[in-house]
Amino acid sequence: MKAQYLVTGGGGFIGSNIVRHLLSNGKNVRILDDFSTGRRENLAGIEKDVDVIEGDVRDESTLKKSLKDVQHVLHLAAIPSVVRSVENPLATNSVNVCGTLKLLIEARDAGAERVVFSSSSSVYGDTPTLPKQEDMNPSPRSPYALSKLAGEYYCRMFRDLYGLKTFALRYFNVFGPRQNPQSQYAAVIPRFIDALRNGRSPLIHGDGNQTRDFTFVEDVAAANLCCCTAPESSAGSACNIGCGDRITINDLATRIASILGKNIPAVHDAPQPGDVRDSQADISRAKALIGWAPRFDLDAGLRRTVTWFLQNG
């Protein structure tokens, strides 16, 4: 099947939601995933609508096959965990940095038009200035954050050296359907939902007064598509993708409990290594350069997410 779009890591939480968003917009989609962190059940119901290639983003022959006839590459394949990167920095570097570089080389050689790189708000580190703006000096605090920053620099370099139109999107705490609550590296929202709906106290790392800007995954999917139609002059840029607001983790737990109709207090343990204290996105650049703005506020996204988890067990 000829594919307009290649989604690397398309079996993952964000990737599978992007794939569904592309299909709903009438696009032809190919997925490259080794399913080491992605899950085949994330593709339930759309298996016949996509071309799935199982393989490693670091394998050149697999990349050549995956990029055949592809116009746009949405690159999400990565080891997506701060904690895991602290435990095994070499593996994170191998997949997130070397894999990205190999993808860029093969995309250039295959004649792909655009590459959209999934970066992270973690590149900002723990600087106190809020909201985070793209022209701030990055200060990564984990191998994961550093790997994302390196990917951004490679993308910009390939734009400057080879004319490949690249975009980097700095995601702020993405959540939504198909986010796995069972992984030891699971994000906070699916963990809270899973605990509360099963009558357990949600576990908060640290005092819970740290703040985050949470972004509904459908807005992330829309941002990726915006990069594929944005003016060519926007290529080489990095854009924040968030709601532009923030909430404490304590308040988040209370809000999810309210949606579920539960009255179960949270419990606390030690902070996670490499974690940042506060995070909030300035999203004005994304609006100006790629024509994107979020459609979902936190409450709307949480209600959709809770509904999906209740319906899907």
Q: Is 171 a catalytic residue?
A: no
Beta bridge partners, 96, equal: none
Beta bridge partners, 238, equal: 168
Which of 5, 144, 154, 171 is catalytic? The answer is 144
Distance between CA atoms of residues 133 and 119, nearest Å: 14
In the 8-state DSSP scheme, what is residue 206?
Answer: S
Taking the mean position of all CA atoms in its chain, how far away is CA 196?
A: 25
Long-range contact set of residues 101-107: C-beta below 8 Å, sequence gap at least 24: 101/154, 102/57, 102/58, 102/60, 102/63, 103/8, 103/57, 103/63, 103/73, 103/75, 103/77, 104/154, 104/155, 104/158, 104/164, 104/166, 106/60, 106/63, 106/64, 106/67, 107/67, 107/70, 107/73, 107/164
Active site residues: 144
